[in-house]
Amino acid sequence: MQRHTTGGRLRGAFATGAAIALLVAACGGSTGTTAPASTAADSAAPAGSEAAPSGSGAAYTGPPVTIEYAIWGDPAEINSQKAVVEGFTAANPDITVDVTVADWEAYWDKLQTGLAGGAAPDVFAMDGPLGPDYQGRGVLLDLKPFIDAEGYDLGQLDDNAVKDFTTKDGVVFGLPRDLNVIALYYNKDMFDAAGIPYPDDTWTRDKLLEVGKQLTKDTDGDGTIDQWGVYTETTDMENAWSSFVWQAGGDILTEDGTKSALDRPESAAGIQFLQDLIWKEKVIPDPAIFAETGDAFEQGVAAMEINGSWLVPTHEAAGINLGIAQLPAGPAGKATSVNPTGAVVYANTDAPEASWLLAKYLASPEAQEKIMALKASVPVNKEILSTSYPASFDGAQVFADSLAFAHLKPAFPGYNEFNTILQTELDENVFNAPNKTAADAIASVNEQLNGILASGTP
Read off the pLDDT of residues 388-406 as tens digits, 9 standing for 90 and up: 999 999 999 999 999 999 9
Tell me the per-residue pLDDT of 155-199, one tens digit each, with 9 for 90 and over: 999 999 999 999 999 999 999 999 999 999 999 999 999 999 999
Q: How many residues does the chain have?
A: 458
Q: What is the mean pLDDT of residues 252-267?
A: 97
Share of the chain above pLDDT 70, in %: 87
**pLDDT above 70 (res 48):** no
Cα atoms found within 13 Å of the Cα of residue 175, Cβ hemisphere only: 27
- The pLDDT mean for the chain works out to 88
Cα 327 to chain center, whole Å?
A: 17
What's 184-252 look like in SS3?
A: EEEEHHHHHHHCCCCCCCCCEHHHHHHHHHHCCECCCCCCCCCEEEEEECCCCCCCCHHHHHHHCCCCC
pLDDT of residue 457: 54
**pLDDT above 50 (res 428):** yes
Distance CA 214, CA 276 (A): 16
**pLDDT above 80 (res 97):** yes
C-alpha closest to that of 401 among 389, 413, 409, 411: 389
Dihedral sign for Cα 119, 124, 125, 130, please: positive
Q: What is the pTM of this model?
A: 0.87
Share of the chain above pLDDT 90, in %: 82
How far is CA 142 from each of CA 1, 57, 348, rounded to the nearest angstrom? 25, 19, 11
- The answer to which of 54-68, 190-204, 291-305 has the lowest mean pLDDT is 54-68
pLDDT tier at 456, thresholds 50, 70, 90: confident
| Strand boundaries in 107-188, DSSP class E | 123-127, 175-187
Element (DSSP H or E) covering residue 368: helix 365-373
pLDDT of residue 29: 32
User: Do strands 336-345 and 302-308 pair parallel, antiparallel, or not at all (unpaired)?
Assistant: unpaired
Distance CA 173, CA 138 (A): 10
Distance CA 231, CA 295 (A): 8
**pLDDT above 50 (res 18):** no
Between 183 and 20, where is the model more confident?
Answer: 183
Q: Phi and psi (nearest 5°) for 194?
A: -90, -5
